[in-house]
Amino acid sequence: MGLNQRALEKRIAAGERVLLDTSVMIAYLNGGAGEPTFPVVRYFIEEMLKAERNAALYSAVSVVELLIRPLRAGGPAVGHVNDFLSHTVGLRVASVDMAVAQEAASLRATHHFKTPDALVIATGIVYQVSHLLTNDELWRDRLAPLKERVRVTMPKDYL
Q: Which residues pair with 153 in a beta bridge?
A: 133
Q: Which residues pair with 56 in a beta bridge?
A: 18, 91
**Would you tell me the crossing angle of helices 60-73 and 77-87 to the nearest 10 degrees?**
160
Q: Which residues pair with 91 in a beta bridge?
A: 56
Residue type, 147: K
Hey, what domains does the chain have and what are their CATH numbers?
5-96+128-154 (3.40.50)
d(C-alpha 38, C-alpha 23), whole Å:
11
Helix, strand or coil, per DSSP, at residue 133:
strand
Residue type, 136: D
What DSSP string describes 71-103?
Answer: HHH-STHHHHHHHHHHH-TTEEEE---HHHHHH
Q: Is the pLDDT of residue 9 over 70?
A: yes
Distance from first CA to last CA of the chain, Å, rounded? 6
State pLDDT tens for residues 69-89: 999 999 899 999 999 999 999
d(C-alpha 48, C-alpha 64), whole Å:
25
Model confidence at 1, in pLDDT bands (50, 70, 90)?
low
Q: Which residues pair with 152 in a beta bridge?
A: 132
- pTM value? 0.95
Q: Which residues pair with 57 in a beta bridge?
A: 19, 92
Q: What pLDDT does 34 receive?
A: 87
